[in-house]
Homo-oligomer: A and B are copies of this chain.
């Protein structure tokens, strides 16, 4: 998960649990697919399968939105698409700025899935003067000096940070001061923001480390043989490139 909001006393927003909110986009995507194939209705079972979740969970999630299903039939696809879109705030336009147009920033700018759901790239901002004016994904990059003006002029409330880690907090502060209240952070740093500002982070490195943990565990289990009492975790394959020297690389510094 590259997710994680910063702070927030678990204030269940308007009665809709945070976990449910995080799944609504998933349902919406599955529903959009059905809609394109002109499927009129879906059962909770079918939709749940498409979204990769439990059907009971899906029904409970939808129950927070209201009673939009028909017993014995299922859910009307178009209607549900609309209801979820409205709930997520996608019936309006969200201008977004991307700050830090390097490798990642440029990829994000080129990302088509951006505009598809009400998100519009209002501006690309970079601190490098050499980049100012350069078109990326059809949009001319603007210099950081313009940041406040851009935010203000476009009524931007969502900012994406893809600068190096060292610049992230500073950029964040400027964004917030200029009026941005939601930030998607790709830089590997913990951002501190005032109350009322939401931060979500996407951290590739963390994701890989979590995978490595489970990978190691799988390999270890296999090595340990199946003397475990329960066959819950299957044997799986051989450890990857693991000639993990016999703990030979313990740092010299020991605790006490």
Interface residues of A (CB under 8 A from B): 1-4, 6, 9, 11-15, 21-22, 24-26, 28-30, 40, 50-52, 68-70, 75-76, 78-79, 81-82, 86-96, 103-104, 106-108, 110-111, 113-114, 116-119, 154-158, 179, 181-184, 188, 190, 192, 195-196, 198, 200, 202-218, 232-234, 236-237, 239-242, 244, 249-256
Contact = CB atoms under 8 A, between A and B. Distances in A.
Contact of A94 (B25, B157, B215): B215
Nearest to A119: B208
A116 B204 CA distance: 12
Nearest to A40: B253
A182 B4 contact: no
B212 A118 contact: yes
Contacts of A9: 232
A contacts with B: majority SS: mixed
Copies of the chain in the assembly = 2
Contacts of A154: 241
25 contacts: A1-B3, A2-B2, A14-B234, A14-B236, A21-B214, A25-B210, A78-B252, A78-B253, A79-B251, A81-B251, A88-B209, A88-B212, A94-B241, A103-B106, A103-B111, A104-B111, A107-B107, A116-B205, A157-B237, A158-B215, A182-B214, A195-B234, A200-B210, A200-B211, A202-B202
A95 B241 CA distance: 8
Contact of A213 (B88, B188, B196, B204): B88
